[in-house]
Amino acid sequence: MDDSVLIPAGREGWVPSGEYLLSARLGGLQTVEGFFLDRHLVTVARYRRFMEAGGYRARAHWDDEGWEMITTFRLEAPRFWGEERWRRFQRDDRPVVGVSWWEARAFCRFEGRRLPSEREWEAAARGPAGFKYPWGPEWDEARVGVRGKGPRLTWPVGYFSRAKGPFGHHDLVGNVWQWTLDPSVPKDPESPRIVRGGSWASRPDQNDTETWNAYDRGGQFSHLGFRTATSPAAAPA
């Protein structure tokens, strides 16, 4: 198995500073500072490291509301974890699902990283040219796993290699929706958080670089995962 599926992506997911043609909703042409973004979605195997290191017991990783949630409901794992019915979703190379925004944030702190902003996600997915799909301007159903294609469950990360984005990121559309930092109502920090990318359960028209959705921060769903990002002290050489 590719080691990048299991370990933090480090510098492999560099998105350079520059002008990016973002979606009209985000203002079109925008300057985006360079950042690192995981080339792969966070996998079951990678998330397990957080759990085995005591991530659900380490208060320092959690926001106040997230800590209240896991202590109130005595959570020790994502939703679906260890349930036989969801066994196929729990394979090491699948994206971890059933993870709330709070859990994703705690994982990011554990690795010294963060969730990407919506603008960053679009820059990585659209590239400077502002493609509607990570691979270009036209839909190609052979490139990605969505509703009506194969079994109704997640795919191994990177399975659809021809769906890579302009900087080599996999699964930017299809597979699972992805948490971002941004509230759906900018002036309401408690509003649902924006998710991007569509999923295995989404219609084809929802799997592009413009469509967005939003879920409550405590939402734990079988079609929702995440990837991590970080801002460097300096651009890579």
Query: pLDDT tens digits, the chain, 237 residues: what are they?
Result: 343 444 444 447 999 999 999 999 999 999 999 999 999 999 999 999 999 999 999 999 999 999 999 999 999 999 999 999 999 999 999 999 999 999 999 999 999 999 999 999 999 999 999 999 999 999 988 888 777 776 788 999 999 999 999 999 999 999 999 999 999 999 999 999 999 999 999 988 999 999 999 999 999 999 999 999 999 875 555
Largest CA distance in the chain: 47
Confidence at residue 150, expressed as pLDDT on a 0 to 100 scale? 67
**Phi/psi-derived region of residue 175, left when phi > 0, alpha when psi is between -120 and 50, beta in every other case:** left
Confidence at residue 6, expressed as pLDDT on a 0 to 100 scale? 43
CB 35 within 8 A of CB 22: no
- pTM score: 0.93
Confidence at residue 103, expressed as pLDDT on a 0 to 100 scale? 98
Cα–Cα dist 161/220, whole Å: 27
Confidence at residue 146, expressed as pLDDT on a 0 to 100 scale? 78
Confidence at residue 237, expressed as pLDDT on a 0 to 100 scale? 54
> 10 Å Cβ neighbour count for 232?
12
What structural domains and CATH numbers belong to the chain? 3-230 (3.90.1580.10)
Half-sphere exposure of 154 (CA within 13 A, CB side): 28
Confidence at residue 234, expressed as pLDDT on a 0 to 100 scale? 56
